[in-house]
Amino acid sequence: IQGVTVVPLRSSLIPGTSPRSLYNTVFLSVFHLPLIHPVHVISNTGEGEAELTLTSSSLESLNAVLATISYTSTIYHVHTADLVSFCFKNHEAMFPIVIRQPQLPVMFNMGTGKFNINSQVTITIKTFLRYNNLKVLLSSIRSFYPDMTVIIADDSFEPEKITGENIRQYFMPPAQGWFAGRNLAVSQVTTKYFLWADDDFLFTKDTKIEKLVEVMEAHPELDVVGGSVQGNQFYFSLEYDEGEETEGGCLYRKSKGRFNALPGYPQCFMTSGVVNFFLARTDSVQKSRFDPLLQRVAHSEWFMDGLGSLMVASCGGVSIRHQQKTNSNLYNKYRTPSGNSEATFKYQLHFFKNHLKCIKFG
């Protein structure tokens, strides 16, 4: 970040106003500029105000005062900015000041001693009417990660208790939907990362969670890293044109759209959205909710809502499988309702909530 970062309402010395050999008259225009140690041989106007002018025939005195000039914001805001103008002779320099309230760090217990994947990752699942698939998935998880915590959000009509070590099942009112279940599952995660898996997935020898954790640890700016489902990464890029305030903007989703490669990991690259199999940073995702109005078919909508706040990458080499489809008629009724009501609702939601005038898929 360019410029100077300060804490709201707290005086901070302005760096870079150290001794120079050319100063004679200096004019500064900022929010609030008190002099910490005024020097009597210097004249000033505007001390403690938004504009401060210093004049002196003594270069030594002028330099001494410049080194003590501080900036203080006068209005509390957790994240805003100001612009400072610094003038001497016929020259003017301007630089931004970022006013930001520091946030408390969020720490997670990563265990002690040897690397322990179970203390770093929780597997989260949303299930609905597919207990046979869920049990197959859990069995495959235990084949490779016997001690990892699994959280299940369940909104089935007739809930069936799933038992086992380190399995936590949370029951919801029936048919609350896909994103509501995601919110519930993620809200209960206490590890640094969680791995999202659909209830009809199947872990294999290529489902190496450790590889995704390695990428996230090497790049702490990332929020989400996607893998692949049966070798397909299903990534996409998003482009947003804000447009006019009255009409709204346009959103373009491009399948297979990608950006730059991830440094140090040639099998990974930056993108806007990934497949339903991903590792995510818990504290980041808990700040960007899944819209519970999206109850049935939804996934890319979360990345749309997170555009500009979520840093997303996709990596090859870490894969999961789909089970053979054995969905019941009741499940299919909810998963793919007849008519276009679900699609129409999603478009209406986008156009209203995201203030759009057009959406394009390519």
pLDDT at 138: 98
pTM: 0.83
The residues facing 270 across adjacent strands are 313
pLDDT at 192: 97
Between CA 15 and CA 3 the distance in angstroms is: 10
Query: Consecutive sets of 10 residues in the chain, 362 residues long: mean pLDDT of each?
Result: 83 68 43 45 61 77 79 89 82 86 89 87 96 97 98 96 96 94 96 97 98 98 97 95 91 96 97 97 92 85 94 97 82 69 83 92 89
Name the token pair of 275: 């497949």
Q: Which fold has domain 4-100?
A: Immunoglobulin-like (2.60.40)
Start and end residues for every CATH 2.60.40 domain found in the chain: 4-100
pLDDT at 296: 77
